[in-house]
A = this chain, B = another copy of it.
Amino acid sequence: MSADPAVDPALPLPVARTVRELRQTVRSWREERLTVGFVPTMGALHEGHIGLVREALGRADRVVASIFVNPTQFAAHEDLGRYPRQEARDAELLAQAGCHLLFAPDATEMYPPGFSTRVEVDGPSAGLETDFRPHFFGGVALVVAKLLNQVQADVAVFGEKDYQQLLVVRRLARDLDIPTEIVGAPTARDAHGLALSSRNAYLSDAELGVARRLNVILRDAATQAAAGRPLPGVERDAFAALLKAGFERVDYVSIRRADDLAAFRDGVVDAPARILAAAWLGKTRLIDNLPV
């Protein structure tokens, strides 16, 4: 239990609600010459997030996790309002994992009146998610730029589950010279290979059965692409297989260059590649990706 005014003694994990409190704690660590890792999240934590915390603990002396359901990355019709919120449970999970500080600001702390800055990352944000969620990466880039500058960590860990986001964040940090190393961590999956996601909580039992086909169909397509089968056919068949498996709508299934998500011009895989997909079950949109 700390006497630091920056922490909330009612919780087992110290919680900073303001940037000022956050920076007080980080500064005290810096004065002890401790390195700092950072894991940004939107809460509703699962084993995937805990893996990110462990990754950060392996790379830094102290780890900050943030929980902020960022309104600027949701469109008006999306699930901002029903996005799961369970901070007390999240804080317990983080404490158990060995996290040292939870940063959980409210929206006014992040976007005070008069806020008027936008950040856009082109390049890796082109296509895929952007074709269906055009405001998404602008919102992500803005909040991540803010969070990275707020925490000033040595290293920040992002999940490969959001692979396009990981590339956008890497590009953002490089382009804006944010002095935090961006590390990607492999996707955590359940016993059936389903990528863990806070949005899985929305799924009925029947939908869960369908959801678990997503990674199987992507793995099969990746195998075909790696064997040299032309990509238009691979992608078309995977698209059809997802619909047949029970997904109601498929936003995309696409095999792209792993380093920048550019399309393969010759329609076959001739460099490190990634297969990425987004598909719908009811009101729930699931994404996944795998190396090819």
Q: How far is the CA of A260 from the CA of B10 in the complex (A)?
A: 41
Q: 8 Å CB contacts to B: which residues of A134-166? A: 141, 145-146, 149-150, 152
Q: Which residues in B have their C-beta under 8 angstroms from that of A152?
A: 179
Q: With contacts A117-B120, A171-B117 known, is A149 near B19, CB below 8 A?
A: no
A122 CB-CB contact with B under 8 Å: yes
Contact yes or no, B119 A117, CB < 8 A: yes
Chain B residues with CB below 8 A from A172, complex form: 117
Main secondary structure of the interface of A (DSSP, over half): mixed
Name A's B-contacting residues (CB within 8 A). Answer: 19, 23, 114-124, 141, 145-146, 149-150, 152, 171-172, 175-179, 260
Would you mind naming 17 contact pairs between A and B with Cβ atoms under 8 Å apart? A116-B121, A116-B122, A116-B124, A116-B175, A117-B120, A117-B121, A117-B171, A117-B172, A117-B176, A120-B120, A146-B175, A146-B177, A149-B176, A149-B177, A149-B178, A150-B177, A152-B179
In the assembled complex, how far is the CB of residue A156 from the closest CB belonging to chain B, in whole angstroms?
A: 14
Is B117 a contact of A179 with CB atoms below 8 Å? no
Are A176 and B116 touching (Cβ within 8 A)?
no
With A116-B121, A117-B141, A118-B119 known, 15 other A-B pairs at CB within 8 A are A23-B179, A114-B123, A114-B171, A115-B175, A116-B171, A117-B119, A117-B120, A117-B121, A117-B122, A117-B171, A119-B120, A149-B149, A149-B178, A149-B179, A150-B177
Q: Closest approach, in angstroms, between the C-beta of A153 and any C-beta of chain B?
A: 13
A152 CB to nearest B CB, Å: 7
Q: Which of A114, A145, A152, A175 counts the most chain B CB atoms within 10 A?
A: A175
State A178–B149 Cα separation when bound (angstroms): 6
| Closest partner residue, chain B, to A149 (CB atom) | B177
Instruction: Tell me how far the C-beta of A140 lies from the nearest C-beta in chain B, rounded to whole angstroms.
Output: 12
Specify the chain B residue showing the minimal Cβ separation from A148: B177
- Set of chain B residues within 8 Å of A115, measured between Cβ atoms: 175
Cα A229 to Cα B221 with chains together (Å):
75
Assembled-state Cα–Cα distance A116/B149 (Å): 19
